[in-house]
Each structure stands twice: as structure tokens, then as C-alpha cells.
Amino acid sequence: MDIPVHITVFVISFVIAVIMGLLLIPLLRRLKFGQTIRDDGPKTHLVKQGIPTMGGFIFLIPLVIVGGYYAISDEKMLALILTTLGFGLVGFADDFLKIKRHSKDGLTPRQKMLGLLIIAACFTAYVISRTDAAEKTIIPFIGLDNPINVPVTIFIPFCVFILLAYTNAVNLTDGLDGLAGSVTVVVLVFFTLVAMLNSEWNTIKLFCAILAGGCLGFLTFNLHPAKVFMGDVGSLALGGAVASVAILLQMPFVLVIAGLVYFVENISVILQVAYFKKTGKRIFKMAPIHHHFELMGWKETKIVLMFLAATILFCTIAFISLR
């Protein structure tokens, strides 16, 4: 019996990622590309000071190698890879400046937002000019056969917003060993299964399987206690990838359900900041919300498992919403 191609590329990407981890982590140590821990974060995280960062290359390299094979003759694969790498490049600049300055601050918020905005605008232009994804949007629980029409004047800012929102959300989620990576593997596997429902989504199926395999390989080094962190080069790339996939599938609202952990992490920061500015008090012990659970005495592994289980549940609900 022939092995389905999406399983094959998943396994190949996983193996390459493991090899990349074994090669890159010692190199990152020698280059002293260590993580700078924020002094206003949980005190338990201070022991992570100096652990190699920029580990996102561990899953981005397999994406380029395996996905690049298909991108030679597949424009959509090329667009997805370039968009993912574009967001990753902004993260790389941020990581590099932090390391160079030995500081927790890299790019200024304005510089980072400008970089993300440029990549988001380029992908939006591609979607509008080269695909039909801008024409309709699938609404959960209404079904795949009943998408709603979206005027292009609404789609353009909405598309840019989704890309910016999820790059930021995954970046915020990347605060515990294995958290962002494990949640994103589940979301990517979910979209792989969704893309199997329509042969026209074959490229997206392969892209998600390749990136999921790479992320799983990365997790072998990132689970607690982490030997490497993905850095902004990884988290911004992953956020851009899942958002781009959702947009091409016409499923940004489905992503809200499947990636509800991202949404909760993001909204916890927004609520915390807004409430503190208004009242001088905090809703959570610390935001993003995974730090709130840490300060309640929960171990990192327990929080990650809880969020992972929640993501599996949310993805199951999201899949049901399409049927």
C-alpha cells in the first residue's frame, strides 16, 4: 500500500529538523546566541538565561528543503514559503539585535510592526491577484458549501489584520518550554486534515504537513527543560504560516476556534493592559495568561499539557463546524 504523500513529507521534515537541531544547537552555543530573559517576568525563568535562541531555523530549514521541491512548480507553495520566511526575517532581525545588544529589546515596536505590515501587504496582494480566496469566507457551523461573499474593500484590511494578529498571538504564546510549538503542531495537523477534504487544497495540505513535521522535530529539543528556544524568527514565522493557510482556505473564522489558545493569550494581554491603565490594578497575576498559571504555582509541563489538550478539543470542534 502506498504511503500518502503528506505523511511522507511530514516524516522527512521531522527527520531533517532533528538533524538540524543536533547541528544548530551546538553552533548557536558557540556563537553565544543565548536567550535574554526579561527581568519583569517570572523569577523561575531566570535559569533559562543564555539558553540558545533562534531555534526557529530548525523547522524553517526543512520547510525550505522539502517545500522548496514543490515550490519549483507550485506558485501557491512558493507564496506560502516566502510569506512564512518573510515574517521569520522580521523575527530574525529582532532576535539578532537583542543578542548583539545583550538586551531584552530588539526592534522598536514601530520597526517590527512596519516589517510585519510589509509582509502582510505582499501576501494580501498575492491572494487578491492570484487566487480566489478573497471572494468568499467560510463561516463555522454553516458549512463548506455556504461561504459568504466578502467585498474586496473589506477583505484587504481584514486579511492584513489576521496576519498581524496571529503573528503577535503566536509570539505571545511562545513563553513556556514547548508551548507555542506543541499548540501549532496540532493546529497544522488540523489544517492538513481539513485540506484533505478538497483536492484543490493539495498544496496547503503538503505545506501544513511539512511545517508540522518540522515543528515536531523542533519540539524534541524544546520540551521542558528546553535546550533551545524558537525565538521571534520562529514564532513570527509560525504565526504568519497558520494565518496564511487559514486565509487561503477561506477559514480565518475557523482559525479563531482551532487556534483559540492563541486568541486567549492575545486577549489576556490586551485586557491586562487596558484594565491596568484604567484602574491601576491587574486582572491576572501576569500576562500572557500562561504566566498567570505559573504564578499560581502550576508547573510549566502542566500548563503546556492543559493548553495542548484544549487545542485538541478546539480543533475537534472546528472540524465539526465544517461538517
Q: Does the pLDDT of residue 1 top 60, yes or no? A: no
Statement: residue 2 has pLDDT above 80: no
Residue 139 CA from chain centroid, whole number = 22
If residue 158 lies in a helix (H) or strand (E), which one and from where to where? helix 152-173
pLDDT attached to residue 40: 62
Model pTM? Answer: 0.96
Average pLDDT, integer, range 23-39: 87
pLDDT for res 41: 66
Residue 322 sits at φ, ψ, to 5 deg, of: -90, -10
Instruction: Kindly list the distances between the CA atom of residue 227 and the CA atoms of 21, 77, 109, 120, 215, in Å, as whole numbers in the listed order.
Output: 10, 31, 28, 31, 15
Across the range 150-162, mean pLDDT stands at: 96
Grid cell, residue 32, equals 553565544
